[in-house]
Structure 1
Amino acid sequence: MSVDLDRTRPIWRQIAGIVQARIEDGTYPAGSKVPSVVELSTEFEVAASTAQKVLGHLKAAGWVRAEVGLGTFVSDQPPARAER
């Protein structure tokens, strides 16, 4: 899937928004694994540090949780679902 990113806005925020939208629309359901740093950097053609920033932001915002050695997973109650 090719995604055109607006190079005038922070790339990591745009990618975080895309991943967040995928969580909200059920592409990544609660408890499912989200793409790794390598997978995100490949899909969006960005540096691994940018992809790491995306996952760090989503974790801090409560959208995902990281499990050492296993990966990053959608939180059981992501913020948007918790607000409903």
Structure 2
Amino acid sequence: MSIDLDRTRPVWRQIAAVVVERIEDGTYPAGARVPSVVELSAEFEVAASTAQKVLAYLKSEGWVRAEVGLGTFVEDRPAD
């Protein structure tokens, strides 16, 4: 799947929005592993530092949790 990014807005925010959308629509269900920095970099054709920023933001917002040596996983979130 190809995502067209608007290069006039912060790319990392656009990628974060895509990942959040995938979490909300069940593509990445609670407890599921989300793509790594390398995988995000390859999918969206961005630098690893950009992908790292995406994951750091999602973690700070409570969407994901990082488990050292295992990966980054979707947090259980209460239903609205």
Smaller-chain TM-score range? over 0.9
Q: Secondary structure at the match of 1:41?
A: helix
Runs of 4+ in 1 over 2 A off after TM superposition: none
Q: Which residue of 2 aligns with 1:43?
A: 43
The runs of 5 or more residues in structure 1 that have no matched partner are none
What letter is aligned with 1:63? W
C-alpha RMSD of matched pairs (Å): 0.8
1:27 counterpart SS class: coil
Q: Give the distance between the partners of 2:48 and 2:66, measured in 1 at CA.
A: 17
Return the alpha-carbon distance in structure 1 between the equivalents of residues 3 and 23 of structure 2: 17
Q: State the distance in 1 between where 2:19 and 2:3 align.
A: 12
Matched residues, number: 80
Report what 2:28 is aligned to: 28
**Structure 2: where are the runs of 5+ without partners?**
none
Q: How does 1:1-84 map to 2 (within 5 A)?
A: 1-77=1-77, 82=78, 84=80
> Structure 1 length normalisation: TM-score?
0.93
In the alignment, the residues of structure 2 paired with residue 83 and residue 74 of structure 1 have an alpha-carbon distance, to the nearest angstrom, of 14
TM-score by length of 2: 0.97
Q: CA deviation at 1:76?
A: 1.4
Matched residues in 2 for 1:76 and 1:32: separation?
10
Q: 2: CA distance between counterparts of 1:45 and 1:18?
A: 14
